[in-house]
Structure 1
Amino acid sequence: MLAHGQTVVQLMERLAPKHYAVEGDKIGLQLGTLQKEIRKVLVALDVTEEVVDEAIFVGANLIVAHHAIIYRPIAKLDTSTPAGRLYEKLIKNDIAVYISHTNLDVAEDGMNDWMADLIGIDTEGRLPLDEVHTDKLYKLVVFVPKDYRDRVLEAVWQAGAGGIGNYSHCSFNLEGTGTFRPLEGADPFIGSTGKLEQVEEVRIETIVPYSVHRAVIQAMLKAHPYEEVAYDLYPLELKGRSFGLGRVGKLSAPTTLGELADKVKKAFDVPFVRVVGDLQRSVSKAAVLGGSGAKYFRQAQFYGADVLVTGDIDYHTAHDALAAGIALIDPGHNAEKIMKAKVADWLARGLAERKSSTEVVASAVDTEPFRFV
């Protein structure tokens, strides 16, 4: 069974929720339609004409990419221009394009966590470099027949509810008596039409982050035996988890700047890296930010990082960082190509769990625009 386009996007947005994106970022469906069955998904860093040709060749009718193909309003669609030719080829071949950019950067176990893992930043104590989103918290209150309490609790916990700080599976349970009278047309789980019923119930209270509240509600409704479920969702003043661009933390083991630069080069499979700083200096705490992150070197230094790994470092920023005493390693913007295999694997596993025959492949096209001579 082929997956519907919306199913693929729902999986993608479980990994990288759209509300994580930086304001104004061009994400989501950019061309085509998702109202169709998806034969094959091609995951790419950039959508170039070569990538579109690859999609046609492998039979993909959806491209999930990191970098947008439409950055600003289009005044006209001239198919004699490179951009117009690209859009024309996509439309003629019924290939939709969906973008996951800064929301994938910000997401937990997304782009910046993958990069941090590759260069050896410990997960314990790892923090965002620049906070852009704080999850709102809600309290879910639901009334459940006593014998179904554990079933409903397990369902909402599995969907992401119940976390408070470093604790999981948090809830409050209060026993009481529920009353109801099924009316004409009802199909009650307990009781009969027209008769007032009294049932031993449990009032369950638990914390739900906004980012997963829909999934938690769906899981709760599915696990609950009642035809009509009595529940409330209250907004709280408490702050939830913070998410942001980049990552900063201690390296698994101290090293030299030169050794770390070599590790970065190999980890991101790039021909060379540019380095700012003394190659023999010791580094024990590092920051990383995918894409163009040169302007974040002061935040990295504020968090105590010895080095920032990021792309597109300009000459004057390099001088400023050198004077400030923080090292820089630049593997280039194309280092983000690691997302191709990671996203393809995520989508493939999610579709397999749904017993879908839709295939997912990572693009083999090298979209690095620079050639090194």
Structure 2
Amino acid sequence: MKVRELLGILNEIAPFFLQEDYDNSGLQFGDLEADVSNILIALDLQKSIVEEAKTLGIRTIITHHPVIFKAIKNIERSKNEAFYEAITNGINIISFHTNFDIAENGLNDYFLNLLGIKKEKPIIQSKEKVYKVVTYVPKDFEEKVRIAMFESGAGHIGNYDECSFNIEGIGTFRPLENANPFIGERNKRESVSEVRIEVVVRERELLKVLSKLKQSHPYEEPAIDVFEILFDKNEGIGAIGTLENEEDILSFIKTFKEKTNTSYARYIGDINAKISKVAICTGACGSVYENLTNNVQLFITGDIGYHTALAMKERKLNVLDVEHFETEKFFKQALFERLKNYIDPSTIKLSNSEKSPFYLI
């Protein structure tokens, strides 16, 4: 596998175009044609991570946080030793940040599942467009076309795939002089029993679905309609879900710390609250709270600033403020669970050398 192919796999898992405008997910440094035999996954590019990769003989690292967020004029060893060491040792660096936060079955969904919370919807829906693709296929050929579209990503709705709607009807056409008709004769109108197939297609798969549709369709000139549709997406910033049973806030926090192996957290709000509806946003999502509806009884995120905390308290919002590292340390396992469906799991290593930069004193 080449670095280029690995980027293609990552783009299938969480398309890079989903990332936020401020982000810089993707290749940070590397050779697109370099061979990838092993991968090291880490939250950040630290010197210890680069040393770990060198020790293991790994030449490709995937981090959550990008090494480069904005344009840089030079790379000085004393200012960014980890990046300098990676470059001078020819280690490819790929970052997989907000696109993986936003994607369905990405980091936020993994975190929600870890807590045993059933997801309902994202806090803010993703900007990815959704389309309805419609085509008309002669009877006895519709299953071949359906399968081709399904296999290229069409028909995915929430926790279901291979979704389609099918209507039988009569299609008419007249092949002209230069046509090479699959059915009928030139210059003679033909009536054919056809099936209208409708499928939902996400923007990331649209071109691939249309290509496979045309390849599998028996007609020389298949009729294809593409409509952009308004659609409640299951991916986006953060996630909102429901607990199986209502819980006291202190009991929930105790369970939260046990499930996430978190040593401490700060709390804003009613210490006697009972909760059943929870919103989470891994990392630093202090500004996201303004998008929460009143029925959310607890918001979990990290790095809440003082003035934001005051605003949350005034709004009577219950908030669990967890250290940034503690909400995103699961990136390694979350990405591994997705990558192992594409490449040999034995070639994927999860870094064991990183830890939070903070000590509790």
Fold match by TM threshold 0.5: yes
SS in 2 for 1:82: coil
Residues 11 and 148 (structure 1 numbering): CA distance in 2 closer, same or farther, change over 3 Å? same
CA distance in 1, matches of 2:167, 2:157: 13
Q: What residue in structure 2 maps to residue 17 of structure 1? A: 15
Residues 310 and 53 (structure 1 numbering): CA distance in 2 closer, same or farther, change over 3 Å? same
Please tell me whether the aligned partners of residues 264 and 331 of structure 1 are also in contact (alpha carbons under 8 angstroms): no
Identity %: 25
Q: What residue in structure 1 maps to residue 121 of structure 2? A: 127
Residues 246 and 282 (structure 1 numbering): CA distance in 2 closer, same or farther, change over 3 Å? same
Please tell me whether the aligned partners of residues 139 and 235 of structure 1 are also in contact (alpha carbons under 8 angstroms): yes
CA distance in 1, matches of 2:18, 2:134: 22
Greater shift in the superposed pair: 127-136 or 100-109: 127-136
Q: What residue in structure 2 maps to residue 160 of structure 1? A: 153
1:220 aligns to 2:218 (yes or no): no
Aligned-residue RMSD, C-alpha: 3.3
| Cα displacement (A) at 1:34 | 2.2
The one-letter code sitting in structure 2 at the alignment partner of 1:65 is: T
SS in 1 for 2:122: strand
SS in 1 for 2:242: strand
Residues 345 and 248 (structure 1 numbering): CA distance in 2 closer, same or farther, change over 3 Å? closer
1:336 aligns to 2:328 (yes or no): yes
CA distance in 2, matches of 1:128, 1:94: 39
Pick from 40, 43, 46: which aligns with 1:45?
Answer: 43
Please tell me whether the aligned partners of residues 291 and 333 of structure 1 are also in contact (alpha carbons under 8 angstroms): yes
The one-letter code sitting in structure 2 at the alignment partner of 1:284 is: S
CA distance in 2, matches of 1:44, 1:268: 17
Q: What residue in structure 2 maps to residue 280 of structure 1? A: 272
Pick from 87, 90, 109: which aligns with 1:94?
Answer: 90
Residues 253 and 175 (structure 1 numbering): CA distance in 2 closer, same or farther, change over 3 Å? same
Runs of 5+ unmatched residues, structure 1: none
Runs of 5+ unmatched residues, structure 2: none
Q: TM-score, normalised by structure 2?
A: 0.85
CA distance in 2, matches of 1:134, 1:241: 11
Deviations 1:309-351 (A, max 9, x none): 1000122322332232221112211121111012122112212
What is the number of residues matched between the two proteins? Answer: 354
CA distance in 2, matches of 1:136, 1:296: 24
Q: What residue in structure 2 maps to residue 298 of structure 1? A: 290
Q: TM-score, normalised by structure 1?
A: 0.82
Deviations 1:268-295 (A, max 9, x none): 2222112223433211111100100122
Residues 372 and 206 (structure 1 numbering): CA distance in 2 closer, same or farther, change over 3 Å? same
| Cα displacement (A) at 1:109 | 1.0
Deviations 1:122-160 (A, max 9, x none): 23xx1211234152314243x656443212212313433
Pick from 137, 143, 146: which aligns with 1:150?
Answer: 143
CA distance in 1, matches of 2:215, 2:346: 26
Please tell me whether the aligned partners of residues 134 and 239 of structure 1 are also in contact (alpha carbons under 8 angstroms): no
CA distance in 2, matches of 1:172, 1:60: 53
Q: What residue in structure 1 maps to residue 54 of structure 2? A: 56
Residues 91 and 221 (structure 1 numbering): CA distance in 2 closer, same or farther, change over 3 Å? farther
Q: What residue in structure 1 maps to residue 301 of structure 2? A: 310
Pick from 258, 270, 275: which aligns with 2:250?
Answer: 258
Please tell me whether the aligned partners of residues 265 and 331 of structure 1 are also in contact (alpha carbons under 8 angstroms): no
